[in-house]
Amino acid sequence: MQTTTRAMVLERPGRPLALRCLPVPEPGPGQVRLRVRACAVCRTDLHVVDGELPAAKPDVVPGHEIVGTVEAVGAGVERFGPGARVGVPWLGWACGTCRFCRSGRENLCGQARFTGYQLDGGYAEHVVADARFCFPLPGSYGDAEAAPLLCAGLIGHRALRMAGDAARLGLYGFGAAAHIVAQVARHEGRRVFAFTRPGDAAAQGFARRLGAEWAGGSDEAPPEPLDAALIFAPVGALVPAALRAVDRGGTVVCAGIHMSDIPAFPYAILWHERRVLSVANLTRRDAEEFLALAPRIPVRTEIETLPLEQANEALRRLRAGEVTGALVLVP
């Protein structure tokens, strides 16, 4: 029986991850141990590694878009048995008793713990997770193809729902989340307008291939006013840009967990009942809804796989904007 497992560990924020051999974790009550099959690389991982999100668990293993096979179950687990394939998302635990949890808003739980941040994540060969916060995955997706659905897909799904019935939808930052959202939006009959880094012809072409009727730089105005804009890039200056792009009554949704400061802007671009909202984390209901929807569309994830030990290179490429779609680590 295997007694050690390889993992990429954050020894200190701002420094590269270190490859370590750790003891294979044992599942506690209510937990499952997974053999990790794939873990997608998310921009939130960058915020953890770069120290932009405070209070990470010491020596944390990042990664929260995990696809794995159950190897062992702890006491009281009946939902999954050995051999089951499950996904583990960002929300790894919530108290279940606070007013937010009781009202279906467990994503706002003040005691919540998050995978790859306060709980060890999937940049490893093994991980333990609370079985209540794991999900069965559609069989039509391979392991690596399913991994981006677990954050890029789930957060994108929640952000899109916050846009209401917006017909003209702007997507700022055309990466892992936006490339999934664009497919859902087109399936729903919405018109998609994509905004990328200025001059990024590759990302703009990628957006058009996925159904965007217009793609341009984030410094450009769309050809017509938008009903809503979703901001996935962690750039505060995009908030006033998006407010200028949306029509009266329009909505701007900030879909990242971290963003640079939003610069001052004139009240005139917020007036006429425009709204600015933020998305915080996800709920289990979001996961259930989206994982049922994705194969019906069907959503196709654009991925590139890398071995686990190249996690630092994956993060470097993501930081530099050198990724089309999503990168996925495969132990």
Domain 4-148+282-330 shares a fold with domain 154-278: no
Q: What is the pLDDT of residue 204?
A: 96
The CATH architecture one would assign to domain 4-148+282-330 is Alpha-Beta Complex (3.90)
CATH number, span 154-278: 3.40.50.720
Q: 254: part of which helix (H) or strand (E)?
A: strand 246-254
Nearest to 159, CA basis, from 64, 230, 245, 100: 230
Q: For residues 329 and 8, what is the distance between their CA atoms, to the nearest angstrom? A: 11
SS3 277: strand
10-residue block means of pLDDT along the chain (331 residues)? 92 97 97 98 96 94 98 96 97 98 97 98 98 97 98 97 98 97 98 96 96 97 98 97 98 96 98 97 96 98 98 97 95 95
Cβ atoms < 10 Å from Cβ of 118: 16
Q: Where are the domains of the chain?
A: 4-148+282-330, 154-278
User: What is the four-CA torsion angle of 72, 76, 79, 84, rounded to 10 degrees?
Assistant: 0
Model pTM score = 0.95
In the chain, DSSP finds a helix count (H) and a strand count (E) of: 9, 17
In the three-class reduction of DSSP (H, G, I as helix; E, B as strand; rest coil), residue 69 is classed as strand
DSSP 52-107: -S--PPTTB-----EEEEEEEE-TT--S--TT-EEEE-SEEE--S-SHHHHTT-GG
